Amino acid sequence: MLDFRIETFLMVCRYMNFTKAASKLHITQPAVSQQIHYLEEYFGATLFHYEKRKLTLTPAGEIVLLACTTFANDQQRLLERVNELKKASRKVTFGATLTIGEYVLPPKLAYFIQKYPKHPINMLVKDTDSLLKDLDEGKIEFAFIEGYFPKDQYDYITWSKEKLLPVCKAHHPVLSQLEITFYDLFPLPLILREKGSGTRDTLEHFLACANISVHDFASVIEIGGVEAIKTLVSQGAGISFLYESAIQTELANKTLTTIPLREHLFYNDFSFIWRKDSLYANEYKHFFKALQL
């Protein structure tokens, strides 16, 4: 069982508020303060700093948070393994971002399921931010993500390098130009994923490197699904930036076409990640290798 003082510490870190943490834990605020004080005495360091009505972690607090978050995740895995000793195999629960979960992993998972039919799996498809939160809370063991993540908090292996391509409908008027730059695309609506999506984070990062914002386009249309974005773009509602692995069928059918931008192509890593220094890192790596076969 997770030490109640560590649980209290993690709850305070989540909300950065002693009162709210006490409410969530169904204990009094003085009890929260007492437990945090115990941890500070134990570690011999101040864990929180309070200034101008704002609570923040100290450098020592950041180190303790990193270790305790991994410990909490590992404890969840331990409970699952103990509870599943009577079963022939245990369920693997992991996450994947939309592009990876919908277009990259299914063929790999199909082979895995055929090879290990008694090995149950549960894949949750969410945006990058949600998956990182699930990892921290022990709801999933590892994740396949396409967005940015704090590498000091997670161990990772690169799954693949993927092209993020500008796309439009076939025979779009913009394609008639001899040379196309970003500035030629600004008069067009930009259709993209919602905030928190790894695809959007990656796009905004690349655009920022060129001193460009999504708001430089005529309008920004936010859509929560890749299939809907592809349909809208194919109907001429705007342009988008999508990973090549998600649009192979449309490119082959010529319902979508890539825009030959003068600027360099965008490449981004698809990553396999888990909590840093997890006791179960080798198990996660074995699963990773099994999917690559």
Task: List the chain domain ranges.
Answer: 4-83, 92-159+270-292, 161-268
**Cα–Cα distance, 117 to 179 (Å, whole number):** 52
Q: What is the pLDDT of residue 12?
A: 93
Taking all residues of the chain, what is their mean pLDDT, rounded to a whole number?
A: 89
The reported pLDDT for the residue numbered 84 is 57
Selected from 3.20.20.80, 3.40.1280.30, 1.10.10.10, 1.20.1050.140, the CATH number assigned to the domain covering 4-83 reads 1.10.10.10
Taking residue 78's Cβ as centre, other Cβ atoms within 10 Å add up to: 12
pLDDT-derived band at 82 (thresholds 50, 70, 90) equals: low
- Terminal-residue alpha carbon distance, the chain: 37
254 alpha-carbon distance from chain centroid = 31
pLDDT at 266 over 80: yes
Mean pLDDT of 199-205: 90
Contact 258, 175 (CB under 8 A): no
Condensed to tens digits (0 to 9), the pLDDT of residues 146-192 reads 878 999 999 999 999 999 999 999 999 999 988 899 999 999 999 99
* Average pLDDT value for residue range 126-142: 92
52-61, 85-94, 205-214, 264-273: least confidently modelled range:
85-94
Q: Are 39 and 47 in contact (CB under 8 A)?
A: yes
Which parts of the chain fold into alpha helices (H)? Answer: 4-15, 18-25, 29-43, 59-83, 98-99, 105-115, 128-136, 182-185, 198-209, 226-234, 248-253, 281-292
pTM for the predicted model, two decimal places: 0.70
For domain 92-159+270-292, the CATH class is alpha beta
DSSP string, 61-102: HHHHHHHHHHHHHHHHHHHHHHHTTTSSS--EEEEE-HHIII
Can you give the pLDDT at residue 209? 87
At 87 the pLDDT is 56
Mean pLDDT computed over 208-217: 92
- The larger pLDDT score, comparing residue 213 to residue 81, is at 213
pLDDT reported for residue 119: 82
Of the listed ranges 11-25, 155-169, 246-260, 261-275, the least confidently predicted one is 261-275
Q: How confident is the model at residue 83 (pLDDT cuts 50, 70, 90)?
A: low
Instruction: State the residue for tokens 């590892």.
Output: 142
Q: Which residues of 194-233 are buried (b: 16+ CB within 10 A; e: fewer)?
A: eeebbbbbbbbebbeeeebebeebeeeeebeebeebbbbb
Asked, colleague to colleague, whether 92-159+270-292 and 161-268 share their fold, the answer is yes
pLDDT at 280: 86
**Residue 88 confidence (pLDDT):** 54
Pairing of strands 240-243, 154-169: antiparallel
Residue 115: predicted pLDDT:
85
Paired sense of beta strands 48-51 and 219-222, if any: unpaired
Q: What percentage of the chain carries pLDDT values higher than 70?
A: 95
Fold for 161-268, please state it.
Answer: D-Maltodextrin-Binding Protein; domain 2 (3.40.190)
CA distances for 84 relative to 87, 138, 139, angstroms: 5, 17, 16
Q: What was the pLDDT predicted at 269?
A: 92
Q: Is the pLDDT of residue 79 over 80?
A: no
How far is residue 124 CA from its own chain's centroid? 11
Cβ neighbours of residue 21 under 8 Å, at least 6 residues apart? 8, 11, 12, 14, 15, 32
Per DSSP, the three-state class of 190 is: strand
- In sequence order, what are the beta bridge partners of 163? 267
The mean pLDDT of 133-146, rounded to a whole number, is 93
